[in-house]
Amino acid sequence: MNNKTIGCDLPTHAGDPRKVNHAITQAAAPRVRSLFARAVTGFMAALLVSGCTMLGPDFQTPEAPVADEWIETRDPQITTESKEYGDWWTVFNDPVLDRIIELAYQQNLPLRIAGIRILQSRALLGIAVGSVYPQVQALGGAFSYDQLSDHEPNIEPTDETSFSQASVGFDAAWELDIWGRFRRGIEAADANLAASVATYDDALVSLTAECAATYIQIRTFEERIAIARGNVAIQTRSLEITEVRFENGATTELDVQQAKALLSDTQATIPALEVGLRQAKNALSVLLGMPPGALQPILHGAGAIPTTPAEVAIGMPADLLRRRPDIRAAELQAAAQSAQIGIAQTDLYPQFSLVGSIGFVSSDTGRSSLVDLFSADAFAATIGPTFQWPIFNYGRLTNNVRFQDAAFQELIVNYQNTVLEAAREVEDGLVGFLQGQEQAKYLAEAVKASERSVELALVQYRDGVADYQSVLETQERLARSQDRLTATRGDVVTSLVAVYKALGGGWQIRAGQDFVPEETIEEMGKRTGWGNLLSPEDVQVPEELPVPEKPQQLFYKPYW
């Protein structure tokens, strides 16, 4: 073993390998310390340089068209008072509906998917944060056997053409964030994480509204079926009267056949209503994350259509900008894309990096031996800056910046359109709710008049004062008016549900709750090392998600 190294002599400790290794380590130490000092100096200088520039625009919330007040503001049933809409379904005072919403929040599978996507976004944020630090930090080793041709250039007859080589070491490379590429990446990942939370909230808003609307549809079908069966009973009685009169010769067979036709026509509506009822129940079962047919114990049999409150508080149009999750998601998606412009612009500038390696290399050529791999003479190291500047890119990089900018502009317009659509949904729901009540009022009067008409027509027909056509028309009109009234009553309640959905209510119930069920967290934790990312206290986010000038202020912290 060679005991000489640069700048020092090693003492010989024959027969004691441990002392030899200690001496080697002591001899290499000054060189390692010198390299380390230089690396630290370069590292600190890079920190000072890399924080000075951020290419690309800093995101600002786009202007959006918002009305000063709602069209229906002056209706006595409407108030512009702002309220919390986290449990808006409780205004119907229906315990079954309350239970359905609770089960849907706990068991709906698409909502779980949205929650899992939040975890995906959190992991991606961790990747973005990690890119700020040295991108390559790797231990490596290699062994090779080389056989050179005797006829290669510059090969002398005395040269060794067959040899082995071994190496082991540590490599590092750090691209400095001079232009803000990686900081913009964190900004984009952070905004995407916030957008995934807003998307989850939007899914929760849609889920609560869809559950309520489907439940109302079920109750409406149940009442329509009950009304149809009531009319079947009335028309069956009329048929019996016509048959008696026909048998006594007081009327012709025409009355009997007309009564049978009306009865059969009414009876035929019941199977169609039963189909609608079954399909609505199946749809609600899926929303609750259970197979069709398991819903009946929850519904507790047939029930009535929920009643609406006397007054509805809708706040002001500007309230939608922060309450509606889809608006917040659209805004955050634009914020994430804004950061992509800066990332694309950094490709136009040189990329500066610090690279270095430290290790041991040895071969079996000359006086060397593979067993000298960890000797002081086998120590090798390199460290220094590099830069790369793609100056001839034929417009690819510039056009990528333009593409990212156009994509950002598209999302700005999408945000503005989302705001407009939100206001339209509120107005549509309000006009449907208010005008539906007017329609129901007139239909209720029509039903009352039709019921009296049926009574009078039957009395006059029995007395022979009127023909059966009058009975037929009044009973047909009664069945139609009752069915329309019931359907309209259901539509009124559904329109109010649409109003609450359009106002962005329902997502607030997830406050303090996990985005994914505990059993899913446990399963994922067993399968993959998630660290603290799945702990309940770590997966919580603020209930309100404002978009500051720098979106990374929302969630920025290391996630690993």
Cα distance between the two ends of the chain: 45
**377 within domain boundaries:** no
- Judge whether residue 538 has pLDDT over 90: no
Q: What's the whole-number average pLDDT of the chain? A: 83
- Which has the higher per-residue pLDDT, 557 or 133? 133
Highest mean pLDDT among 131-145, 170-184, 194-208, 525-539: 194-208
In this prediction, residue 251 carries a pLDDT of 81
- Does pLDDT of 49 surpass 80? no
∠ CA 401-60-399, rounded to 5°: 5
Which residues, other chains included, contact 294 with Cβ-Cβ below 8 Å and sequence gap of 6+?
Answer: 285
* Residue 39 predicted with pLDDT over 60: no
Q: Is 360 within the bounds of a domain?
A: no
Q: Quick one: pLDDT at residue 31?
A: 52
- Domain extent for 514: 77-145+162-350+389-553
Neighbour-count burial of 427, counting CB atoms closer than 10 A to its CB (0-12 exposed, 13-18 middle, 19+ buried): middle
Categorize the per-residue pLDDT at 38 as very low, low, confident or very high, splitting at 50, 70 and 90: low
In a domain, 44, yes or no: no
Give the span between the Cα atoms of 306 and 493, in whole angstroms: 7
- Of 429, 416, 412, whose CA–CA distance to 504 is shortest? 429
**Contact assessment for residue 1 and residue 21, using Cβ atoms and an 8 Å cutoff:** no
Non-local CB neighbours of 16 within 8 Å, separated by 6+ positions: none
Residue at 31 is within a domain? no
Mean pLDDT check: name the lowest of 85-99, 253-267, 379-393. 379-393
d(CA 211, CA 216): 9
CA 316 to chain centroid: 26
Mode of pairing for the β-strands spanning 8-9 and 379-388: unpaired
Residue 24 has pLDDT above 70, yes or no: no
Locate the DSSP E strands across 255-378.
Answer: 312-313, 351-363
**Residue 202 neighbours by CB under 8 Å, 6+ apart:** 324, 325, 326, 329, 507
Number of compact structural domains in the chain = 1
Q: Give me the pLDDT at residue 1, please.
A: 37
Decide if 559 is inside a domain: no
What are the contacts of 247-253 at 24+ separation with CB within 8 A?
250/464, 251/468
Residue 205: its pLDDT value, please? 95
Section 310-329 average pLDDT: 90
Report how many helices (DSSP H) and strands (DSSP E) the chain contains, helices first.
11, 8
Cα–Cα distance between 534 and 516 in angstroms, integer?
9
Tokens of 146: 């080389």
CATH number at residue 330: 1.20.1600.10
pLDDT: is 11 or 155 the higher one?
155
Indicate the pLDDT class of residue 426, thresholds 50, 70 and 90.
Answer: very high
pLDDT in tens, 388-408: 888 888 889 999 999 999 999
8 Å CB contact between 338 and 56: yes
Residue 53, domain member (yes or no): no
Beta bridge partners of 172: 137, 356
Q: Two tokens at 136?
A: 């390559």
Helix then strand then coil, in percent of the chain rounded to 5, is: 60, 10, 30
Could you read off the pLDDT of 487-530 as tens digits, one per residue? 999 999 999 999 999 999 899 898 888 888 888 888 888 888 87
The more confident residue out of 457 and 38 is 457
Q: What is residue 50's predicted lDDT score, i.e. its pLDDT?
A: 47
The answer to the question of residue 379 being in a domain is no
pLDDT digits (tens, 9 = 90+) for 220-232: 999 999 999 999 9
Q: Tell me, yes or no, whether 36 lies in a domain.
A: no
Residue 537 has a pLDDT of 57
